Amino acid sequence: MISACLFDLDGVLVDTAVYHYKAWRRLAAELGFEFTEEHNEALKGVSRMASLDILLDTGGVRERYSAGEKEEMAARKNGWYVEYISRMTASEILPGVTSFLDELKTKGIKIALGSASKNAGLILENTGLGGYFDAVVDGSMVSEAKPDPQVFLLGAELTGTPPAQCVVFEDAEAGIEAARRAGMRSVGVGGSPTLRKADTLIPGFVGFTFEDLTKRID
Ligand code: BG6
Ligand code: MG
């Protein structure tokens, strides 16, 4: 039985990965090294400070900077990122997402957000997605990042749903693992081979219905 659907935000409902990438690449350029789209794959689903460490390792410069300098760099990256997402509109919601959310609402299925991002509120507001959610859990509400299950367990609690009746939609390996640790089923969204541990995989939401979901996960 499925009573609630819990959604990751970046890469599942909206394509913000491109803005994260632009901002990280700009930081790398200022620090004097190149950061490719391929390098960027390793940052998906990863918290801001952990992402910075991965980026600095890519440039082979992590040891050069103090904790304070790293805080400043993360803030600089976030400033650019916020500039980009401030201009987001509903046109950047990924295809098929709103039809699927509308269907869940009609069927009385609870909808929650489980995102690592501290900018989730701004994105929900600018895209108009906020109104769909019975509960929103973002990076400012949890102490442990995915793959820790905290973000999804809190989403389940806030919607009053037992974890076994929750399904998580994720585009990152850490998120699929977080769902598993939370005792929830998961749907891997997108084509990444790193999602193979998900209970089922979909390329995206176009044409995907609640009936399809219940056929794959009961
Ligand atoms: C995740 C993204 O949703 O949020 C990561 O996939 C990002 O790329 C993380 O680093 C934290 O986001 P923010 O907006 O708090 O820096
Ligand atoms: Mg994601």
SS3 76: helix
Residues whose CB is less than 8 angstroms from the CB of residue 198 and which lie 6 or more positions away in sequence, other chains included: 170, 176, 186, 187, 188
Substitution site in 10, 53, 137 for ligand 1 pocket (most atoms within 8 Å of beta carbon) = 10
Mean pLDDT in residue range 41-63: 94
What separation in Å is there between the alpha carbon of 164 and the centre of ligand 2? 22
The verdict on whether 102 is a catalytic residue reads no
Residues 97-126: tens digit of each pLDDT: 999 999 999 999 999 999 999 999 999 999
Does a cis peptide bond (omega within 30 degrees of 0) precede residue 95? no
Q: Which has the closest alpha carbon to 41: 58, 29, 27, 26?
A: 58
Angle between the N-to-C axes of helices 48-58 and 17-31, in degrees from 0 to 180, rounded to the nearest 10: 50
Residues with CB under 5 A from ligand 2 (ion): 8, 10-11, 45, 171-172
Structure tokens at 42: 């390793």
Strands 4-7 and 185-189: unpaired
Q: Is the sign of the CA dihedral 11, 72, 137, 181 positive or negative?
A: positive
Is residue 76's pLDDT more than 90? yes
| Cα torsion through 72, 75, 79, 82, rounded to 10 | 170
Residues 127-171: tens digit of each pLDDT: 999 999 999 999 999 999 999 999 999 999 999 999 999 999 999
Dist CA 207 CA 46 (whole Å)? 29
Strand spans (E) along 40-150: 110-114, 135-137
Substitution site in 117, 119, 168, 173 for ligand 1 pocket (most atoms within 8 Å of beta carbon) = 117
Strands 166-170 and 185-189: parallel
The band of 9, judged by pLDDT with boundaries at 50, 70 and 90, is: very high
The verdict on whether 8 is a catalytic residue reads yes
Is residue 218's pLDDT more than 80? no
Residue 79 pLDDT: 98
Q: Say how many C-beta atoms besides its own lie within 10 A of residue 81's C-beta.
A: 22
Residue 45 pLDDT: 87
Is residue 41's pLDDT more than 90? no
Write the residue with the smallest CA distance to atom 4 of ligand 1.
117
Mean pLDDT in residue range 169-174: 94
Residue 192 pLDDT: 86
Residues 181-213: tens digit of each pLDDT: 999 999 999 988 889 999 999 999 999 999 999
Dist CA 18 CA 28 (whole Å)? 15
The band of 174, judged by pLDDT with boundaries at 50, 70 and 90, is: very high
